[in-house]
Amino acid sequence: MFDAADGTAFTHEQGARARKLFAAVVLAALDDAIADDKKYGNGPDQIARWARSRDGREVLSCAGIDPNERVVSGLMDFVSKGVRTSVALSREESERRHAAAAAEAEAA
């Protein structure tokens, strides 16, 4: 019924779906840390603690992200900026940041 190529394609598709699911968990953890930062002021510490934990490292690995200290510092920087993930990933925000960077480059 299924040949080897169909089985491989199905397995690859399942893996891609699993990575997307774990990436969504990482985004939710970032949003939670941003909310903690606004409420309690400890968001970057919370995301760093989560990313260094066994569960956090496992989730990051399953999402296709290498759980090293560079990633942890990047997550902390993202949380400290306070921009929600849904806004940061939107096209409008991307265009706004690009225009701001272009204007800054022209001024320099």
* Torsion from C-alpha of 62, 67, 70, 74, nearest 10 degrees: 50
Tens digit of each residue's pLDDT (9 = 90 or more) over 40-67: 999 999 999 999 999 999 999 999 999 9
Q: Is the pLDDT of residue 9 over 80?
A: no
| pLDDT at site 74 | 96
| pLDDT at site 5 | 64
**Mean pLDDT, residues 13-24 taken together:** 93
| pLDDT at site 90 | 82
